[in-house]
């Protein structure tokens, strides 16, 4: 196993007000948990530059007036992109025993889901299995690919934060992480295929604030769904795009994925057709 998506069900020990932005706290809690088992690895993960071999969600779940309540449970998701980290993460939060502290509030881990059966965002696989599913498939890959951007997603382009999930940015980001950690790299031309041969066929997206207190350029991102359509149905390139789309569940997309941004998952089947244009220009339109 080299790819793991672990979904934790958490219960707070006490009622407490917490900021909505807890991506940085979730990141710190992961490194703290790793540090208790392997301090050298935690230090290395803290220090190293470039794409991170893990992602973190913010704390997920409904809160009234910002407060968490001990009679409710909440969700936190961590993913690992290397065998070393995936093996460690799988046992890092034993349910009933582990505790996660977010912004000085302690949560008990009640469930640690690591399979799709246990939670739709959880999963475990390998790079080889992900690639084989598409590259060795009999049938022609679907021309449409839909992604659910579940937390704010943005890209750094020319010093700017860019929240529109252009195909070359989404699949370029996934390609970069794939090639950083997978045993078999994909061609750099995959990005060019995305740029030239994938169109954006529909979307429903809005901007939300980033799930961490922003310093630097990324303070917000897009949340919603987007569907890409291949204008060129070349089987090889389209299969690579499908592999990368499935990889998104583990890798996240774009900037800040280690701080709660870019939580992403391929949707099957594709999102429904675009609505017909309703036609009302504004309130003054009669009818």
By the criterion CB under 8 A, which residues form the site for a copy of itself? Answer: 9, 20-21, 57-63, 72-75, 77, 119-121, 148, 150-152, 158, 160-164, 166, 196, 199-211, 220, 222-224, 231, 263, 274-282, 284-287
Q: Judged by CB, which is closer to a copy of itself: 75, or 179?
A: 75
CB of 105 to a copy of itself, least distance (A): 15
CB of 279 to a copy of itself, least distance (A): 5
Query: In which element (H, E) is residue 62 found?
Result: none
Q: Judged by CB, which is closer to a copy of itself: 36, or 277?
A: 277
Q: Judged by CB, which is closer to a copy of itself: 38, or 103?
A: 103
CB of 33 to a copy of itself, least distance (A): 21
CB of 281 to a copy of itself, least distance (A): 5
Q: Judged by CB, which is closer to a copy of itself: 62, or 136?
A: 62
The neighbour count for residue 168, using CB atoms within 10 Å, is 19
CB of 11 to a copy of itself, least distance (A): 9
Residues 6+ apart with CB under 8 A from 190: 171, 175, 237, 240, 241, 244
Tell me the torsion sign for CA atoms 171, 173, 175, 178: negative
CB of 25 to a copy of itself, least distance (A): 13
CB of 250 to a copy of itself, least distance (A): 15
Q: Judged by CB, which is closer to a copy of itself: 108, or 126?
A: 108
Query: In which element (H, E) is residue 184 found?
Result: none
Q: Judged by CB, which is closer to a copy of itself: 182, or 210?
A: 210
**Alpha-carbon distances of 242 from 46, 198, 270, rounded to whole Å:** 31, 12, 12
Task: State how far the Cα of 261 lies from the Cα of 57, in Å rounded to an integer.
Answer: 7
Phi first, then psi, for residue 82 (nearest 5°) are -130, 155
Q: Which is nearest to 2 in space by CA: 171, 176, 128, 119?
A: 128
Q: Judged by CB, which is closer to a copy of itself: 130, or 218?
A: 218
Task: State how far the Cα of 74 lies from the Cα of 240, in Å rounded to an integer.
Answer: 35
Task: State how far the Cα of 74 lies from the Cα of 78, in Å rounded to an integer.
Answer: 14
Please count the residues of the chain. Answer: 287
């Amino acid at each position: 196993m080299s790819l793991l998506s672990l979904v934790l069900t958490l219960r707070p020990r006490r009622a407490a007000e917490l900021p909505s932005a807890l991506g940085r706290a979730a990141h710190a809690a992961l490194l703290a948990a790793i540090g208790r088992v392997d301090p050298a690895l935690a230090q290395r993960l803290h220090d190293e530059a470039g794409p991170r071999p893990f992602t973190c969600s913010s704390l997920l779940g409904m809160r009234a007036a910002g407060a968490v309540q001990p009679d409710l449970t909440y969700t936190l998701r961590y993913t690992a992109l290397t065998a070393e980290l995936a093996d460690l993460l799988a046992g890092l939060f034993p349910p009933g025993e582990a505790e996660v502290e977010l912004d000085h509030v302690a949560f008990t881990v009640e469930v640690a889901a690591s399979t799709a059966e246990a939670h739709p965002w959880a999963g475990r696989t390998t790079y080889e299995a992900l690639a084989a599913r598409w590259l060795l498939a009999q049938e022609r890959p679907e021309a449409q690919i839909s992604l659910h951007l579940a937390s704010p997603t943005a890209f750094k382009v020319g010093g700017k934060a860019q929240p529109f999930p252009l195909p070359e940015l989404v699949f370029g980001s996934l390609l970069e992480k794939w090639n950083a950690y997978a045993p078999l790299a994909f061609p750099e031309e995959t990005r060019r295929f995305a740029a030239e041969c994938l169109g954006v066929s529909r979307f429903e997206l809005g901007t939300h604030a980033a799930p961490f207190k922003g310093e630097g350029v990324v303070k917000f991102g897009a949340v919603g769904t987007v569907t890409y359509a291949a204008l060129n149905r070349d089987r090889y390139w389209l299969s690579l795009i499908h592999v990368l789309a499935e990889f998104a569940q583990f890798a996240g997309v774009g900037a800040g994925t280690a701080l709660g941004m870019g939580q992403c998952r391929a949707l099957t089947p594709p999102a429904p057709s675009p609505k017909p244009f309703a036609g009302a220009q504004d309130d003054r339109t009669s009818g």
